[in-house]
Amino acid sequence: MAPKRIFNFNAGPAALPQTVLEEIQQEFLDFKGSGMSITEISHRSKWFDDVINDAVARTKRLFHLDDRYKVLFLQGGASMQFCMIPMNFLAEGRTADYVNTGTWSTKAIKEAQILGKPIKVAASSEDRNFAYIPKDIAFTPGATYVHITSNNTIKGTQWARFPDTGGVPLIADMSSDIFSRPFDAGRFGLFYAGAQKNMGPAGVCLVAVRDDMLALTPATLPTMLKYTTHADKNSMFNTPPCFAIYTVQLVLKWLEETVGGLDKMAQRNQQKADLLYNLMDESDFYNGTADKDSRSMMNVTFRLPDEALEKKFVAEATEAGFGGLKGHRSVGGCRASIYNATSVEAVQALVDFMKTFQSRNG
């Protein structure tokens, strides 16, 4: 019997391509003729070497990263990077700008402040509950980096274009939109993302870091907290999260070979986002919470006329096979997370359901 699968709109951990899950299932007991599961083999084996090297190579190809970049697979999640970034790059006398666009940027700022680093919040959209991405920001000349959150998972906003920093390297938390569209990676000193939305299961964080940033790492940091430790050892200074990295590798293979790369992925993501935003623009029943020019293509946040209707909407949607539509507990409302693995058909089915719900309750 075919397994029962729902339309999964979870914010993270989130939907993965079904073909990838099937591939994992198929080779789970005997990985590439080894007679072992991927979860049972040594990370020092040729089998795992091939996995991690392929994941790195695909990441570099997809983002056109040149030889100055190292691709790392680390533990501790995106949240660990919030402290590792200032620890590694802000030695005495250095400063950085941060743009505060929501919950996750706020957390990144807090970690730099706990460490006593003299960072500046160059812009914030907190005045309107983070419903927009700030424009025309005056960045600090000579700063070591500018930190942004490319997509705000909870508030449903996204940078449509990255800001002009006057040559200061960008650092971005791309946890909820990595691999969703092409971008000019050469402007970034570092970008990072927890895997559990667009790449794989929880347990691994991808970090792409440029050599001029690595040169800033102080010798005095504990070994595990230095980016250079992981860069020097191809992410295998200690035992890496092998299963998570293997899944990421398969997702990236799917992205390159089945989807056809980031341009194609971006087109598909735009198509999905348009389906939902067009419905909201035509309706006064579903109201998007983000400003139009700041809307996220990954996390579509919206309100219904009142909280009772929102509760009913989420309950009936769940009953009908649409999961994960409740907004984050800190903001309420509703949210449809439409990451790479969510199909156009799933979003169309949701839109049809939303229209029917409106006709019965509007």
Residues 267-286 that bind ligand PLP (CB under 6 A): none
State yes or no: is 47 an active-site residue.
no
Pattern of binders to ligand PLP over 6-45, x per CB under 6 A? ------x---------------------------------
Q: Residue 151 forms beta bridges with which residues?
A: 158
Are the CB atoms for 11 and 328 separated by under 8 Å?
yes
Tokens of 334: 């509703």
Judged by CB under 6 A, which stretch of 73-81, 111-119, 249-257, 271-279 contacts ligand PLP?
Answer: 73-81
Cα distance between residue 95 and residue 211, in whole Å: 19
Residues 287-346 that bind ligand PLP (CB under 6 A): none
Which residue from 199, 186, 205, 204 is spatially nearest to 63, judged by alpha carbons?
186
**Does residue number 203 form part of the binding site for ligand PLP (CB under 6 A)?**
no
Instruction: Output 312 or 328, the one with its CB closest to ligand PLP.
Output: 328
**Does residue number 111 form part of the binding site for ligand PLP (CB under 6 A)?**
no
Report the run of H or E that residue 257 belongs to, with start and end.
Answer: none
196 is in an annotated binding site: yes
CB of 157 to ligand PLP, least distance (A): 11
Q: Residue 98 forms beta bridges with which residues?
A: 121, 147
Instruction: Output 149 or 342, the one with its CB closest to ligand PLP.
Output: 149
Judged by CB under 6 A, which stretch of 46-54, 66-74, 170-178, 238-246 contacts ligand PLP?
Answer: 170-178
**Does residue number 100 form part of the binding site for ligand PLP (CB under 6 A)?**
no
Cα distance between residue 223 and residue 310, in whole Å: 48
Burial of 246 (0-12, 13-18, 19+ CB in 10 A): buried
Instruction: Output 149 or 217, the one with its CB closest to ligand PLP.
Output: 149
State yes or no: is 173 an active-site residue.
yes
**Does residue number 104 form part of the binding site for ligand PLP (CB under 6 A)?**
yes
Which residue from 209, 218, 231, 228 is spatially nearest to 115, judged by alpha carbons?
218
**Does residue number 157 form part of the binding site for ligand PLP (CB under 6 A)?**
no
CB of 315 to ligand PLP, least distance (A): 24
Place of tokens 């809307």: 295
Catalytic position from the list 197, 226, 272, 326: 197
Cα distance between residue 111 and residue 98, in whole Å: 12
**Does residue number 175 form part of the binding site for ligand PLP (CB under 6 A)?**
yes
Strand order through the sheet with 299-303:
287-288, 299-303, 334-337
Cα distance between residue 274 and residue 93, in whole Å: 46
Size of the site for ligand PLP (CB under 6 A): 12
Q: Which three-class secondary structure state does DSSP give residue 236?
A: coil
Report the C-alpha dihedral over residues 242, 243, 244, 250, rounded to 10 degrees: 110
State yes or no: is 254 an active-site residue.
no
Are the CB atoms for 113 and 88 separated by under 8 Å?
no
Cα distance between residue 80 and residue 237, in whole Å: 17
- Identified binder of ligand PLP from the candidate list 88, 125, 153, 301, rule CB under 6 A: 153
**Does residue number 194 form part of the binding site for ligand PLP (CB under 6 A)?**
yes
Amino acid 63 reads: F
- Identified binder of ligand PLP from the candidate list 52, 62, 78, 347, rule CB under 6 A: 78
Q: Residue 171 forms beta bridges with which residues?
A: 147, 190
53 is in an annotated binding site: no
CB of 209 to ligand PLP, least distance (A): 17
Q: Give the annotated binding-site residues for pyridoxal 5'-phosphate.
A: 78-79, 104, 153, 173, 196, 238-239
Binding residues for L-glutamate: 44
Rule CB under 6 A: which residues touch ligand PLP? 12, 77-79, 104, 149, 153, 173, 175-176, 194, 205
List the binding residues: 44, 78-79, 104, 153, 173, 196, 238-239
Task: Give catalytic residues, as residue numbers.
Answer: 104, 173, 197
